[in-house]
Chains A and B, each alone.
Chain A
Amino acid sequence: MTAQAPIIHGMGHAVKRKEDPRFIQGRGNYVDDVNLPGMLYLDIVRSPYAHARITSINVEKAKALPGVAAVITGKDLEPLGLAWIPTLMNDKQMVLPTEKVVYQYQEVVGVVAEDRYVAADAVPLVEVEYEPLPVVADPREALKQGATVVRPDKGSNLAYHWEAGDKGATESLFRDADVVAREEFYYPRLHVSYMETVGCVAHYDAISGKLTLWMTTQAPHAVRTVASLVTKIPENKIRIISPDIGGGFGGKVYVYPGYIVAAVASILTGKPVKWINDRSDDQPSTAFGRDCYMTAEVAAKKDGTMLALRVKTIGDHGAFFGDANPSKFPFGLFSICTGSYDFKSAFVEVDGAHTNKPPGGITYRCSFRVTEAVYAVERIVDVLAHKLGIDPAQLRIKNFIAPDKFPYKSALGWTYDSGNYLPALRKAMEKVGYEQLRKEQEEKRKRGELMGIGISSFTEIVGAGPAHTFDILGLKMFDSCEIRIHPTGKAIARFGTKAQGQGHETTFAQIIAEELGIPIDDITVEEGDTDTCPYGLGTYASRSTPTAGAAGAMASRKIREKARKIAAHLLEAREEDLVWEPGKFYVRGSPGKAKTIQEIAFAAYTNYPPDVEAGLEAVDYYNPPNMTYPFGSYICVVDIDKGTGEAKIRRFMAVDDCGNRINPLIVDGQIHGALAMGFGTAMLEEIKYDENGNVFGANFMDYLIPTAVETPKWETDQTVTPSPHHPLGAKGVGESATVGSPAAFVNAVVDALAHLGVTHIDMPLNPWKIRKILRDNGIQAE
């Protein structure tokens, strides 16, 4: 035994991330770092039109360019059954078109060449003739009678109609209510703008018949199964490897045409083929987030008691219904929109529309549409507060679900595992000095100065999910962990998830350290290789800690049970007389008689009891009994420059409750990052289309994501309400701040202008939108 007990770093330790040294030093291993001998490069010809019939494709000039190895069109994919492939939502999507294109920047032809430069030179040599067709780019127009039909195979632009809740009960509450607040919100189309664009290296080995795909995917196992079903390549002959991934945010759950074309190109040429999207190809063609029109209404009593909520939404899903949702939820978990409030009844309905825009619709960025849901409720609550003349904080406090009501059954059918909303809001109010700020606001208004205070008290729903409700293409949304302890007491743990920046190599090691007492430095965490990792559904929608993290704890506990048997054998004691403390078993009453986990591990291979198998390993497939429901309260303070209309964030206080924190440093980092994303959403970002379906915001000159300069200084704090069903009492946290914060920014700006009768401004809160309101109110600019 070592003289000093090793530092274990289990739950609650703010250790630095194990993965950071390689990222900080530029030694990550991303898809584009994979280089194989003889590798070819794929580049893609894209459509300049949003909707057009293809009258001819001439590839001869491109083929004649020295260095071009293959040119692949939809006609080449058709006989392979790959011109169209299924989406995750029972629709189908084009890989390469044979008849028409349905959005601008759609993939049309693949060009494969010896190097990237030749491939890029060959792209303009492909001659495609188009006959433009009428375009529909607005989902509200798409659903009208007589609109251009994007998908003749489906007959109309209605992708689905979905509803939840009790319509009748909700309507009667609205009928009898003292007041109804109603507002229309547009949640703009966003792109997640990960640092690394999507790409892959496809390598088909003709001798073994095995296809290996290094790809930017958040869900490698699901991709393998789908790929096998679609291509008929046996599943044991497909290996998906997700190396380091530079951000995903849901955008890397999808199967993009480039992956398929690269794989086909590798099969055809017999060589490895690399495809890496350019930024200016990636931004306008890969999956987007949001893009929905919501009408929210709340019915309330005069005293502010909220009775019922009604939301009607039109969601734009682009040309193919390709969201990455759990199957039963076409608009994700939008029905969490009753939020933190005790509504008697609620009703939501969504019409999903097809348009001449790229598909996707649920790059979570985050969450399964929880972002939209939280925005709707947190905005409409503020609208009601202003309408009633009640302080927005007080209105929230009055309507919060009381702590003794948990587990709480929401009006739309969810069972919230735990929550205690008031302390989080109180803490945020105290820390920001809420009462003082309200006084300051009053005084400033008298002087004609504009400041606003915005609150968002959100409730999240993460950790999909329980097998009875959640599946993707029938695959239940469990997740997994396999742990092997080596003879020297070191361990390797593999998971079915795949981090893209979340820090699993550290957090998951800490979970195992907590459960087994093995120091985190002695635990190697691996994810993302389907040949070695246990099956899982991947990382998105803040599900990894609730599912795979829990599996890590459960697998550790299985190992501990076996370790107990071995320890009993070594200590010549009865199993029930052994006591566990992190890192060792000792005999009750004689702490000196102990065996460390390292000693036990060695014995598992050298001196194990006769009735026990050798080795010390376990696998766990964890089916969570419920979702987890993180929450928090955010307060934003904003000052407005009357002359320019700029909204300047003075303070932003974020109190988050994600249950027990495994690594507080990582949790804080996740919150900081997600707040910055929420800030970008609220203030800057938007992908726009004109009526011809031309996209604006297709690159980082036009689509502005925030930098460190304008990003506010975040103030963070916490309350802790553990999840009662998670083995470690943890909830997910990755998305809380993206979900919770946009409403706080908008509420703050609207609050600053509320005395002018302003009830809503759509994001992004561009200075000209604010300045126009001021101008219309006769406020001079200088």
Chain B
Amino acid sequence: MIPPNFEYFAPNTLGDAVSLLERYGEDAKILAGGQSLIPLMKLRLASPRFIVDLNQIQGLEYVRESDSYLRIGALTRVTDLEASEMVRKKYPVIYDVAAHIADPLVRNMGTVGGNIAHGDPANDLPAVMLALNAEFIAISPTGERTIKAEEFFIDSFTTALKPSEVLTEARVAMPPARSGGAYLKLEKRVGDFAIAGVATQLTVDGRGVCERVGIGLTSAGPTPLKPKKAEESLRGKKPDDSAIKRTADLAADNANPRSDLRGPAEYKREMFRVLTIRALRNALSRVSGGS
């Protein structure tokens, strides 16, 4: 559990950070909360020669609403999402997930940016970002760009970020009235990664018809997954029992889990169905006000 040697930088500005990243390219790694990177280094599964620690950079830790977006700074600790009154009231799906990522120790350190940028299909936040149709803002030596969540996750541990890019913000359009969401995670034991996880976000109109449907799946294959057919099947429909079950069937069909110590693939696929049903029902029960 001792990492190989590396050189360590702790720049004070984003500008310095990106220029270090540009200089060292593939040999450098960003360090945020360290809750994924450091274990990998200690197990010598990753051996970056240069570490660029973002923790000295001011202004990347925030959770606020502005310009009709909920904006979350990349260095925001997961625990701060859990503690935010606004998140709990208006973004229950984010509150749910924050309370189910790892354990409190990891959440105190782990960051929103790291959880997303790590590209681990077993991390919980990405599925929620997919359900919420989030956008990510990344900065590089050539400037800033916005990447849609559904275009962000390329493969296991591979994202759309370039080696010289820093993720600075995740943003989510503020939900309209009559919206609700939920995240359900099935785990063998608290603090473990999900056997299966399902995020749902719904907006229903005055007649009870689903206007917007967002679903995201955790541990469902090589990347976090947005089961689009499932989303579409519920859009424009009343979320009655049979519609919910059909949506859940489609979500489970879309999932491509692997057999491992967290269960056989067949079981996991079935759990995507169960959790989708339950998460949709949960989301519906929470449909309320919004803004």
Contacts and interface: CB of A to CB of B under 8 A. Distances in A.
B5 A121 contact: yes
A775 B270 contact: yes
Contacts of B278: 643, 782
B161 interface: no
Given A117-B2, A710-B189, A771-B270, A782 B245 contact: yes
Interface in B258-284: 261, 263-264, 267, 270-271, 273-274, 277-278
A280 interface: yes
A781 B245 CA distance: 11
B267 A772 contact: yes
A640 to B, nearest CB: 14
B43 A280 contact: yes
B270 A781 contact: yes
Interface string A636-656: 000000011110000000000
A781 B191 contact: no
B189 A706 contact: yes
Contacts of A145: none
A120 B190 contact: no
Chain B facing A: main interface SS: loop
B186 interface: yes
Given A644-B186, A772-B267, A278 B1 contact: yes
Nearest to B196: A644
B65 interface: no
Contacts of B189: 684, 704, 706-707, 709-710
B188 interface: yes
Contacts of B27: none
A646 B271 CA distance: 11
Interface size class on chain A is: 20 to 34
Most chain B CB inside 10 Å of its own CB: which residue of A643, A709, A775: A643
Contacts of B103: 707
Interface residues of B, number: 25
A704 to B, nearest CB: 5
A194 B261 CA distance: 22
Contacts of A569: none
A644 B271 contact: yes
B289 interface: no
Contacts of A716: none
Chain A facing B: main interface SS: loop
Contacts of B43: 280
Interface in A762-778: 766-768, 771-772, 775
Nearest to B190: A709
Given A644-B271, A782-B245, A684 B188 contact: yes
Most chain B CB inside 10 Å of its own CB: which residue of A116, A279, A696, A768: A768
Contacts of B261: 688, 696-697, 702
Contact of A280 (B1, B192, B277): B1
Contacts of A775: 270
A644 B274 contact: yes
Interface string A121-140: 10010000000000000000
Contacts of A701: 192
B59 interface: no
Nearest to B244: A782
Contact of B264 (A646, A709, A768, A782): A768
B4 interface: yes
A124 B271 CA distance: 41
Contacts of B191: 707, 709
Interface string B1-44: 11011000000000000000000000000000000000000011
Nearest to A43: B2
Nearest to B270: A781
Given A280-B43, A644-B274, A766 B188 contact: yes
Interface string B205-241: 0000000000000000000000000000000000000
18 contacts: A278-B1, A280-B43, A644-B271, A644-B274, A645-B267, A704-B188, A704-B189, A707-B103, A707-B189, A707-B191, A709-B189, A710-B189, A766-B263, A767-B188, A767-B267, A768-B267, A775-B270, A781-B274
Interface of B: 1-2, 4-5, 43-44, 103, 186, 188-192, 195, 245, 261, 263-264, 267, 270-271, 273-274, 277-278
Interface of A: 116-117, 120-121, 124, 278-280, 643-646, 684, 688, 696-697, 701-702, 704, 706-707, 709-710, 766-768, 771-772, 775, 781-782
